[in-house]
Amino acid sequence: MFKTIPYISEKVWGYERWIISTHKAGQSLIDGTTQFIGGKKINKVVGENYPLLIKIIQTNDNLSVQVHPDDEYAKRVENTSGKTECWYILDAEPGATLICGLNKKYTQEELRIAIKDNKLESCLRYIPVSKGDLVFIPAGTVHAIQGGIRLIEIQEPSDITYRLYDWGRKRKTHIEKALDVIKNNTPDSVKDFTGPFDCKYFKLDKIDITSEVKINFDEAVKDKEGNVKETPAGKTGWVSFFVISGTADLESSSGEKINVKAEDTLMVRVDEILTVKNVNDFSILKIL
């Protein structure tokens, strides 16, 4: 069991903290206070190809309107995995919105003309969000995080982004590739998420803890027949935790002790049993 130290990526619109990443573009570290392994890159412990990339994203301005390819297209064209992701909203200014999909079905040519005529904004689907919401972004979904939002993003370990539109900024766009991968999907958002949620690539659960409790991971990584599930936790033997709020003391069955607070991130072996005690307004996002 250990806390992670993020790789920080500054952006024109805010910043990203890659809190769990073994991706070559930015790797997170093991907290320096961890005995024997403190300060090492997490890939030295969890493996070179951990199947998730998890970020905290703070937006002070709009991100570009973008889309990510699915696994088949990304493998064939970019020699990497695709990017399906979801966002759990940690905080949002009053009236905050996100772009999640298109407001109706469009042909490639209709979108190409809208981009050329600088009218893409009229094709986008805007959804209001607030603290505690969950938004699912399957590969092929046009999307953008807008200003005034802080969230945790759970995604496939890919750094492939095709920009359609960048609000007048002069960064590179990738119009034809983006048009190739758009799927015209409009996924649902979950208001006031309480969990669980799962898709092909990960499973999430939000847990509110008010008193001392033990957490066992057997059911999370094995089915009723005892077979290991095809989840990141099942494949790698590691579970990720993100502390949404509060404080607590954690003790593993192997004797490790850690005090945690809001926005700490931990990785725990699935064969550990955790004792959670001295809790104060404690909520976590468990990522399997």
Catalytic annotation present for 163: yes
**Eight-class DSSP state of 3:** E
CA nearest neighbour of 28 among 1, 10, 13, 9:
9
The token pair that represents 107 in the structure block: 């042909």
**Eight-class DSSP state of 154:** E
> Cα 216 to chain center, whole Å?
23
The token pair that represents 275 in the structure block: 């004792």
Distance CA 187, CA 137 (A): 7
The token pair that represents 52 in the structure block: 């998730």
CA nearest neighbour of 284 among 181, 210, 234, 225:
210
Active-site residue (options: 163, 169, 171, 269): 163
Residues marked active site are found at: 163
